[in-house]
Amino acid sequence: MELLNREQYDVLRKRLAREQRRLNIRRIKSNYGLVAGAVLFLFFVLLAVAGPLIIPHDPAEMKVAERLMAPGGTHWLGTDEFGRDLLARIVYGARVSIAAGLSVAAIASVLGLIAGLYASYYKWLDHVLMRICDGLYAIPGILLAIALMAALGASIRNVIIALSIVYTPGIARIVRSAALSVRSQTYIEAMVVQGAGATRIIWRHIMPNTLSPLLVQATFVFAEAIISEAALSFLGVGIPAPEPSWGNILQAGKLVIYKAWWMVVFPGAAIVLTVLGLNLLGDGLRDHLDPRLAAKGKR
Amino acid sequence: MAGYLAKRLLSLVPVLFVVTVAIFLIIHITPGGPAASILGMEATEEEIERLNEELGLNRPIHEQYVTWVAGLLRGDLGDSIFMRMPVSRAIREHIGPTLSLAIVAQLIAIVLAIPFGMLAAYKRGTLADYTLMGASLLGMAVPSFLMGLLLMLVIGVKLGWLPVAGYAPLSAGLGVHLKFLILPALSLGSIQAALIARMTRSSMLDILNLPFIRTARSKGLNELKVVGKHALRNAFLPILTVVGQTFGTLVTGAVVVESIFNIPGLGQLILNSIERRDYAVIQGVVLFVTIIYVAINLAVDLLYGAVDPRVRLDKR
């Protein structure tokens, strides 16, 4: 019996990969939550990226004569207390809010990944890092963020720093627990015995196995960071005016709540729909990446 | 039980150590140092030096930490520079509204969520179930400060049923007290209600399929008794867990919601202190709420044993 030659093997491998991809796509398509979440979220990302090209108004342009105009006419979503176009402010606010959320999710993921991986590998480091995580975790997130913002001062950069500090411990824990279950596998022991270096084992063999739970958690952190940024800005310790963010539009909206319902309802809807999209996306990703969990949850 | 309690308390030591270090360090990350930050741009070197001296900020940092913690152990949270009073007194004066709000929010959440959660489980797979679970999913996506604004807009401004903002202490009468607290408590409790409803539903579903429910039915008990008594009792532990865990977050969340409704609680205290750069108060409030939060979580863990004899804490 003749073995496959190089060419046949390549053809077969490509066909298998294609088949795998097709199955994967079909599984994604039948995961309605994942699709709905992705569509909802991507809509707002698109709005943030392309919106400024379409909307004819400048978010900073003040027109005294057009203060607090109700939705309709040239201002589709109305205007704010300075006569600025609300739609333009929400669209530019989407850039700020989504960018802040994304930065927090990315920074917390990288820091959490490094901390979680090394904690799973070195026992002494595990004790130190996990006690630090426990401690930071014990301080209610929004309070820690408020206290950090009080010290650092209100700015976009500081919001990102403060929220990254708040969300890193949670991610470190998740990465660590995923990494620990890999760490005890025989093939890792085998690598240690063969003399592979710690860096190689950690980054080439343990790290890839922690990426699925990390991705899921990062999605949830993204959503929470958007909420927290909005809360901080709403309280006046987050992103300062005149830079629009969903939170500080709401802060202005509270002051004119008697006269201008649109200042509360539209930015509020933007936050809720974005967060809902990210949460559905996170749930969907979890089901997709860990089918065993999905089966358990569906009882 | 005593052994378990001791172990749990001991495990809190490193947590509290990290908590205190973190909160202590917060004021030291202010750009230019806390004294310069308190005095503002126009402060001269000598003024900054004098304030550093007064606040003890010119001593080595570990010494400052030890002094601070030693004070904490005596119940001394330091002094407010702006209000010229001990931080502990400031907290005492502001804790009432925060606790009231958190408790009312918790009660509203429980009263709303458990019956609806049971209904959803009982009518599983029907329109009622999907509607309730859809509403709870949406409820979880609406942050409390936003829910507060929306309730304020609809019920306070448009319908005029309840006061838009403000606060009346319990001493003004329970009715008035509650009238001011309903909207804030509803906005604070909505996420909790959604969580509890979901947990009630899934926990009830587990129980409703068990043989003893079939037995209860077959011996002729009416449905209300089967579901409301036999099933709910056994489904209660996970529900209690969520209720307990969320009470801690309610106290924290109250801090945010207060500012929307102008309730003079700890949240307002901390936000005012940020404007005044009154760092001792900020540290004190954060530490105080963290300790409440940790204590509530511990209490909930210990309560498990009381509610469910199957959980033998000391045998673990």
User: Is B26 in contact with A149 (Cβ distance < 8 A)?
Assistant: no
- Residue of B23, B137, B149, B282 to mutate, interface with A, max A Cβ within 10 Å: B149
Spatial contact of A286 and A216, defined as CB atoms under 8 Å apart: yes
Q: A290 vs A47, which has greater pLDDT?
A: A47
Give the closest-approach CA distance of B295 to chain A in angstroms.
10
Q: φ and ψ at B262, to 5 degrees?
A: 50, 50
Find chain A residues with C-beta within 8 A of B260's C-beta.
254
Structure tokens at A96: 């700020």
Coil, helix or strand at residue A77: coil
Band the pLDDT of B312: cuts 50, 70, 90.
low
Spatial contact of A34 and A28, defined as CB atoms under 8 Å apart: yes
User: Is A230 in contact with B249 (Cβ distance < 8 A)?
Assistant: no
- Residue A94's nearest CA partner among A59, A61, A127 is A59
Q: B30 vs A189, which has greater pLDDT?
A: A189
Average pLDDT over residues B80-84: 79
Specify the pLDDT at position A293. 56
Find chain B residues with C-beta within 8 A of A150's C-beta.
26, 270, 273-274, 277, 279, 282
Predicted complex ipTM? 0.84
Q: A219 vs A84, which has greater pLDDT?
A: A219
User: Is B205 in contact with A299 (Cβ distance < 8 A)?
Assistant: yes
Structure tokens at A74: 């040239």
Q: Is A299 touching B (CB cutoff 8 A)?
A: yes
Which ranges in A122-206 belong to alpha helices (H)? Answer: 123-138, 141-152, 156-183, 186-193, 198-200
In angstroms, the CA A46 to CA B99 distance is: 43
Of B22, B31, B157, the CB nearest to A153: B31
In angstroms, the CA B30 to CA B52 distance is: 14
Q: Is A265 touching B (CB cutoff 8 A)?
A: yes
Instruction: List, for residues A233-285, the tens digit of each pLDDT value.
Output: 999 888 887 888 899 899 888 888 887 788 889 999 999 999 999 988 988 88
Spatial contact of B18 and A132, defined as CB atoms under 8 Å apart: yes
Instruction: List, for residues B128-143, the tens digit of each pLDDT value.
Output: 889 888 888 888 888 8
CB contact set of B50 (below 8 Å; sequence gap of 6+): none
Q: Is A160 touching B (CB cutoff 8 A)?
A: no
Give the closest-approach CA distance of A288 to chain B in angstroms.
20
Give the closest-approach CA distance of A136 to chain B in angstroms.
6
pTM: 0.86
Of A147, A150, A250, the CB nearest to B149: A250
Give the closest-approach CA distance of A15 to chain B in angstroms.
41
Specify the pLDDT at position A111. 96
Structure tokens at B3: 């052994």
- Residue A276's nearest CA partner among B137, B130, B135, B192 is B137
- List C-alpha distances in Å: B97 to A135, B166, B254: 27, 11, 9
Q: Is A276 touching B (CB cutoff 8 A)?
A: yes
Q: Is the peptide bond before A242 cis (omega within 30 degrees of 0)?
A: yes
User: Is A150 in contact with B279 (Cβ distance < 8 A)?
Assistant: yes
Nearest CA in chain B to A270: B142
Specify the pLDDT at position B28. 80
User: Is A131 in contact with B19 (Cβ distance < 8 A)?
Assistant: no
Spatial contact of A225 and A100, defined as CB atoms under 8 Å apart: yes
Give the closest-approach CA distance of B216 to chain A in angstroms.
23
User: Is A146 in contact with B270 (Cβ distance < 8 A)?
Assistant: yes
Of B22, B153, B206, the CB nearest to A257: B153
Q: Is B259 touching A (CB cutoff 8 A)?
A: yes
In angstroms, the CA A151 to CA B36 distance is: 12
* Most confident by average pLDDT, A220-234, B50-64, B270-284: A220-234
CB atoms within 10 A of CB B24: 17
Specify the pLDDT at position A271. 92
Q: Is B291 touching A (CB cutoff 8 A)?
A: no
Average pLDDT over residues A150-177: 92
Query: Quick one: CATH architecture of B95-315?
Result: Orthogonal Bundle (1.10)
Q: Is B146 touching A (CB cutoff 8 A)?
A: yes
Q: Is B140 touching A (CB cutoff 8 A)?
A: yes
Nearest CA in chain B to A149: B274
Q: What percent of chain A has pLDDT over 90?
A: 37
Specify the pLDDT at position A297. 44
Of A132, A147, A299, the CB nearest to B286: A147
- Residue A136's nearest CA partner among A91, A112, A167, A160 is A167
Find chain B residues with C-beta within 8 A of A261's C-beta.
153, 157-158
Q: A38-42, A134-138, A288-292, B294-298 — which is least confidently predicted?
A: A288-292
Domain layout of chain B by residue ranges: 31-76, 95-315
User: Is A250 in contact with B157 (Cβ distance < 8 A)?
Assistant: no
Mean pLDDT across chain B, nearest whole number? Answer: 83
User: Is B271 in contact with A258 (Cβ distance < 8 A)?
Assistant: no
Q: Is B180 touching A (CB cutoff 8 A)?
A: no
User: Is B84's pLDDT higher than 60?
Assistant: yes
Chain A to chain B Cβ contacts (< 8 Å) = 137
Specify the pLDDT at position B309. 64
Give the closest-approach CA distance of B292 to chain A in angstroms.
10
User: Is B314's pLDDT higher than 90?
Assistant: no
In angstroms, the CA A11 to CA B68 distance is: 71
Q: A47-51, A61-65, A144-148 — which is least confidently predicted?
A: A61-65
Average pLDDT over residues A156-165: 94
